């Protein structure tokens, strides 16, 4: 449960642009308080020699210049960034903006500019040029100069990072990293123990069962399976989940069905309904935490935009296909988690709505195949990718799922490619994949 709460908090903070700048502003306020305290205590003797050694008028000019420069640079830099992000969203899809929102580099740069601006304002108000009681905080001014150099360094880094972060290879790479992390989570989760085979007897949805309805609308961003297992064991119930992470739930729709054991009286317990709803994180958009399909669909969206007549960039589409096939090679070697989850006493407690290899292959290939049927390079790379995946397949049903797509790719190319030699190239790749898959299917039969 603690891990689940950390996921909830991390997702909210990582997608907010205010957290890191606010934290750095607070650090700037604390730093200003410390340096001013040292200045007022008369500890600035060394800094008058090695640091700022000017008078009050020069200090006022210096701090004013730094403050004005920082806020101007911040506004200008991020205005240019918004234009770049607008162009990137048109080419790669609006969903990639989420990756930019979670990019800590942008937040760190913005925080540095704002923190330096706030620090200079706080120091500026303490400088006095009165002849009777002049006050020049030498330590604080030296720190302000150091912060200025740091801000210049961050500006250079920002220019470099902003130009590289909107490249296709960088965006595709980040989404691929999220996809690999989602795969790692999918196969590292341990809830009780499980088996692929359905139990001999599963209680029917009869009058002893009740439905748990969603108290809000949104995409399921994460499910706390550990909490659900704990609830199911303590209440002696069986849960049948209707949704998995990534699916959209409408308020009032059925989240799950509960079959009761001995404690049928708990079916109308308001606390039970609340506990179960608290095990679901709902949000306005999908996230990649527990949702393998989401990252796959992001890569697919970039690919089909790239091969559209408006953009006509098959090389970007091929990059996406390569990353999708690499992920599917990993998935083909895995034994997918069973939907049937048991507690330590070997009692069936949770039946999940689990992703399958067949479903993920459908997500990866359907739309790219449909939109790229008239593109030779994309079609050939799809077949080459399926050939690579075939080398990693361990189960007959996975080979059958891949075989279905290979045949659809071939039929689409026969209809979409007007040049006979292009069709022959596709046919040659097709025969290579068919030979591999046929051997796997034959061995599993």
Burial 243-260 (b: 16+ CB within 10 A, else e): bbbbeebeeeeebbbbbb
Tell me: pLDDT of 380 over 90.
yes
- pLDDT, one tens digit per residue, over 38-58 is 888 766 555 555 566 667 788
CA angle 272, 274, 275 (to 5 degrees): 65
Residue 106 lies in a domain: yes
| Phi, psi for 204 (deg, rounded to 5) | -75, 160
Which of 150, 166, 182 is at the close of a domain?
Answer: 166
Q: pLDDT tens across 226-254, in order?
A: 889 999 888 888 899 999 999 999 999 99
How many CB atoms are located within 10 Å of the residue 65 CB? 12
Q: What is the C-alpha to C-alpha distance for residues 207 and 230, in angstroms, rounded to an integer? A: 24
Determine what percent of the chain falls in helix, strand and coil, rounding each to the nearest 5. 65, 10, 25
Compute the average pLDDT of residues 266-294: 83
Mean predicted confidence (pLDDT) in 422-429: 90
Residue-level pLDDT at 50: 56
Report if residue 44 sits inside a domain. yes
Whole-number pLDDT of residue 381: 94
Is residue 341 a part of any domain in this protein? no
298 plus 440 within the same structural domain? yes
Query: Is 306 found in the same domain as 428?
Result: yes
Q: Where are the alpha helices (DSSP H) in 189-344?
A: 225-235, 270-278, 292-306, 314-332
Mark whether 277 and 371 lie in a shared domain.
Answer: no
Are 49 and 127 within one domain?
yes
d(CA 266, CA 18): 43
The yes-or-no verdict on residue 445 having pLDDT over 50 is no
What pLDDT score was predicted for residue 7?
A: 58
> Domain check: are 258 and 318 in the same one?
no
Of 190 and 144, more confident: 144
* Site of tokens 């049937």: 340
Q: In this predicted structure, which of 99-103, 403-407, 440-444 has the lowest mean pLDDT?
A: 440-444
User: Are 7 and 115 in a shared domain?
Assistant: yes
- Show the domain range for 249: 193-283
Structural domain count, the chain: 3
Same domain for 197 and 157? no
Each residue of 109-118: pLDDT tens digit? 989 999 999 9
- In a domain? residue 55: yes
Which has the higher per-residue pLDDT, 322 or 6? 322
Are residues 13 and 140 located together in one domain of the fold? yes
Report whether pLDDT(427) > 70. Answer: yes
pLDDT of residue 204 exceeding 60, the answer is no
pLDDT for the residue numbered 359: 93
Which ranges of 97-137 would DSSP assign to H, the alpha helix?
97-101, 104-124
């Amino acid at each position: 449960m603690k891990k689940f709460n950390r996921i909830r908090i991390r997702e909210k903070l990582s997608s907010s642009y205010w957290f890191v700048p606010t934290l750095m502003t607070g650090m700037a306020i604390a730093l200003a308080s410390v340096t001013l305290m040292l200045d007022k205590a008369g500890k600035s003797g060394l800094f008058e020699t090695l640091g700022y050694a000017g008078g009050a008028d020069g200090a006022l000019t210096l701090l004013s210049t730094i403050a004005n420069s920082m806020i101007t640079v911040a506004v200008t830099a991020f205005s240019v960034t918004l234009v770049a992000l607008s162009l990137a969203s048109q080419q790669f899809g609006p969903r990639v903006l989420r990756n930019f929102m979670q990019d800590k580099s942008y937040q760190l740069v913005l925080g540095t500019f704002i923190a330096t601006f706030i620090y200079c304002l706080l120091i500026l108000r303490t400088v006095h040029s009165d002849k009777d009681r002049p006050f020049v905080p030498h330590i604080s001014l030296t720190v302000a100069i150091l912060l200025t150099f740091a801000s210049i360094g961050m500006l250079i880094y920002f220019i470099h990072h902003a130009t590289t972060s909107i490249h296709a290879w960088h965006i595709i790479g980040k989404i691929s990293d999220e996809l690999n992390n989602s795969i790692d989570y999918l196969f590292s989760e341990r809830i009780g123990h499980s088996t692929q085979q359905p139990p001999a007897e599963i209680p029917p949805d009869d009058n002893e069962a009740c439905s748990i309805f969603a108290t809000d609308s949104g995409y399921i961003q994460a499910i706390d399976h550990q909490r659900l297992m704990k609830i199911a064991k303590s209440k002696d119930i069986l849960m049948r989940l209707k949704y998995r992470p990534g699916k959209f739930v409408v308020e009032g729709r059925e989240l799950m069905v509960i079959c009761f054991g001995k404690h049928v009286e708990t079916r109308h317990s308001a606390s039970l309904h609340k506990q179960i709803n608290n095990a679901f994180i709902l949000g306005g958009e999908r996230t990649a935490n527990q949702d393998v399909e989401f990252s796959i669909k992001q890569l697919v969206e970039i690919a089909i935009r790239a091969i559209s007549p408006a953009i006509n960039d098959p090389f970007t589409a091929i990059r996406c296909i390569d990353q999708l096939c690499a992920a599917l090679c990993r998935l083909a070697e895995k034994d997918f988690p069973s939907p049937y989850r048991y507690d330590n006493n070997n009692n069936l407690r949770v039946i999940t709505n689990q992703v399958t290899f067949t479903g993920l292959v459908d997500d990866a290939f359907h739309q790219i195949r449909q939109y790229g049927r008239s593109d030779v390079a994309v079609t050939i790379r799809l077949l080459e990718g399926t050939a690579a995946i075939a080398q990693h397949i361990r189960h007959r049903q996975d080979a059958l799922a891949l075989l279905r797509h290979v045949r659809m790719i071939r039929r689409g190319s026969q209809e979409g490619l007007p040049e006979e030699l292009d069709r022959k190239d596709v046919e040659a790749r097709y025969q290579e994949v068919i030979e591999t898959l046929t051997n796997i299917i034959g061995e599993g039969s």
